Amino acid sequence: MFKIAVLTSGMSRGSNLKAMAEYFSQNNLPVLISFVVRTRREAPIADVCQELGITCHHIPYKNQIQFEENILYLCQYHGIHLIALAGFLKRLSAVFLRELAVPVVNIHPALLPQYGGKKMYGMAVHQTVFEHHDKESGATVHLVDSVYDNGPAIAQEKVDISGCRSPQEIADTVLKLEHQLYGKAIWEYLNRLYG
């Protein structure tokens, strides 16, 4: 059984968490989401966790060192094989990533290396894609290092956005793709790494 943890920050809705949990369940895959960490007590992802029966810890991100120490302890205690970021907008330190010694992956709502980096998240990405009049966008699952959106891609898929008339329409289109891609990419990567 592969055990993963999911980190989220801010007011995450938990749609990617729900999609990956459903992918693992519907395909009878030996992947357990051991726990979720949210940085805001009132984040809607807590309700998604309750619905799915997943333990959801509230760990505020006021002190990065203390936050990362708490995550490290939880991951070691639960024997975590991989961390998935889902709406986690904080940068993880190189020290934490080294001490963790398991991969951390993230999903980005664009075709990296385009439209990545600091402050390029959420609607800011889709607004930029829209302003560039791109005909396609997509989602990238990549390994996380201590630089925003810098680690190597492990999965990437494109989607036609030529019919989208606003950044919100692009966001909705890309989110559907994210939901199809993330769980599958995590499963395939776990198999490559540990299989």
Segments of the chain scoring below 50 in pLDDT: none
Domain boundaries, the chain: 2-107+140-156+178-194
Q: What is the pLDDT of residue 88?
A: 95
Q: What is the pLDDT of residue 194?
A: 87
Q: Which amino acid is at 17?
A: L
The yes/no answer on whether domain 2-107+140-156+178-194 falls in CATH 3.40.50.170 is: yes
Cβ pair 144, 97 in contact under 8 A: yes
Task: Give the Cα separation of 88 and 43 in Å (integer).
Answer: 12
Tell me the pLDDT tens digit for each residue of 63-82: 999 999 999 999 999 999 99
Q: What is the pLDDT of residue 128?
A: 97
Tell me the pLDDT tens digit for each residue of 30-60: 999 999 999 999 999 999 999 999 999 999 9
